């Protein structure tokens, strides 16, 4: 099952207070994120100010961002395009701990 960013927000909001607290820990990169928000989220994530980066497959399809600072990579659904999987997993390069979990 492939979740969209909106679906995840809905699931999290159903858990009382969980999503509100999570927003302060999380940066998001999706297809329609403004360039200024993209830059800010990436810097905050790399510097550790945001602990979670929600990065969608559509964002990767359109922009191919390089996300630095990943410690643990969780893929909640395998990408529809098989070439995306190694591209995303290779973002762990340079990480002290290279943990990747795939949920599907």
- List pLDDT tens digits, range 45-103: 889 888 888 788 888 898 888 888 888 888 878 888 999 999 988 888 877 777 888 87
The whole-angstrom separation of Cα 73 and Cα 40 is 20
Inform me whether the pLDDT recorded for 21 exceeds 70.
Answer: no
Structure-model confidence comparison of residues 11 and 59, the more confident one: 59
Domains of the chain, each with CATH number or no CATH: 5-102 (3.40.50.300)
Q: Is-above-0.75 flag for pTM?
A: no
- The model's pLDDT over 28-37, given as tens digits with 9 standing for 90+, comes to 777 788 888 8
Tell me the CB-side half-sphere exposure of residue 31, using CA atoms within 13 A.
7
**Residue 19 has what pLDDT?**
45
**Residue 3 has what pLDDT?**
43
The whole-angstrom separation of Cα 53 and Cα 15 is 20
Q: Assess contact for 91 and 70: CB atoms under 8 A.
A: yes
**Residue 83 has what pLDDT?**
93
3-state secondary structure of 14: coil
* 53 secondary structure, DSSP code: E
The whole-angstrom separation of Cα 68 and Cα 92 is 8
């Amino acid at each position: 099952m492939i979740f969209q960013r909106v679906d995840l927000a809905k699931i999290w909001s159903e858990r009382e207070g969980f999503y509100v607290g999570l927003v302060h820990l999380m940066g998001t990169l999706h297809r329609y994120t403004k360039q200024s928000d993209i830059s800010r989220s990436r810097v905050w994530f790399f510097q550790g100010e945001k602990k979670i980066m929600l990065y969608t497959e559509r964002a990767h399809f359109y922009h191919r961002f390089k996300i630095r600072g990943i410690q643990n990579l969780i893929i909640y659904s395998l990408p529809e395009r098989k070439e995306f999987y190694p591209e995303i997993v290779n973002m762990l390069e340079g990480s002290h701990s290279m943990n990747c979990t795939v949920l599907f």
